[in-house]
Amino acid sequence: MSVMPKVKACLFDMDGFLINTEDMYTVATNTVLKKYNKPPLTWKIKIQLQGRPGPKAAELVIDWAKLPITVEELTKQSSVVLDKMWPTCQFLPGALELLKHLSETNVPIALATSSAKDKYIAKTNHLREGFDLFGPHVITGDDERIPPGRGKPCPDIWLLALKSINDERAEKGLEIIKPEEVIVFEDGVPGAIGGRDAGAYVVMVPHPCAMDVLDVEYLKEVVGNGEVLTSLTEFDCTKFGL
């Protein structure tokens, strides 16, 4: 690991990193694809969708599968399936434990999710034990401060999440935290690239199926000076002074 400052804040992706909603998106999309006699998603296309704002992900699916429907129609049909699944989603291994540890040790945390605010609420209403720990520091994909076309893999949402933390610190007269003093936790390639380009240290935990199709050398390029784990339970807080 490269020499880095003591970590002063942690920023988190949500879908597929903290909670198991990524697989739910796959089920819903495949349901629509089957309706139009199209093959199911492969992980080669799936890794391009992870972490992207919903409309962009839908556009990629339509182009890939040559679906005869609009982005709005795909979103509507998928939502019929997803809205029934959100109340069943759960924390992934190690996620809740890490959030609690960081909260108990007063490490600032923020959430940066490409999910729109209404989807964020639907997914987390029954998981407030963990998500309440973020306090006001929750940035959703439809935040008006993110310019059009600047979702992940652009770094904007990560920098906005850090700004949320720093605005609160400034009000309290506390030192501002720099991007290089931050860990970005992600499962998807687009979000990891955004975290890297924001100047943060990236800890990437890809979906097991994504690991099967992602080239190891490419992953090293994606995370820069960061690291790739097979499970969040492997993350060593002590290595970063957390």
Residue of 13, 143, 156, 187 marked catalytic: 13
23 in catalytic set? no
Q: What 3 state SS string does the chain have?
A: CCCCCCCCEEEECCECCCECHHHHHHHHHHHHHHHCCCCCCCHHHHHHHCCCCHHHHHHHHHHHHCCCCCHHHHHHHHHHHHHHHHHHCCECCCHHHHHHHHHHCCCCEEEECCCCHHHHHHHHCCCHHHHHHHCCCEECCCCCCCCCCCCCCCCHHHHHHHHHHHHHHHHCCCCCCCHHHEEEEECCHHHHHHHHHHCCEEEECCCHHHHHHCCHHHHHHHHCCCEECCCHHHCCHHHHCC
Q: Which of 15, 143, 156, 187 is catalytic?
A: 15
**Is 13 among the residues known to form the active site?**
yes
- Which positions are annotated as active-site residues? 13, 15
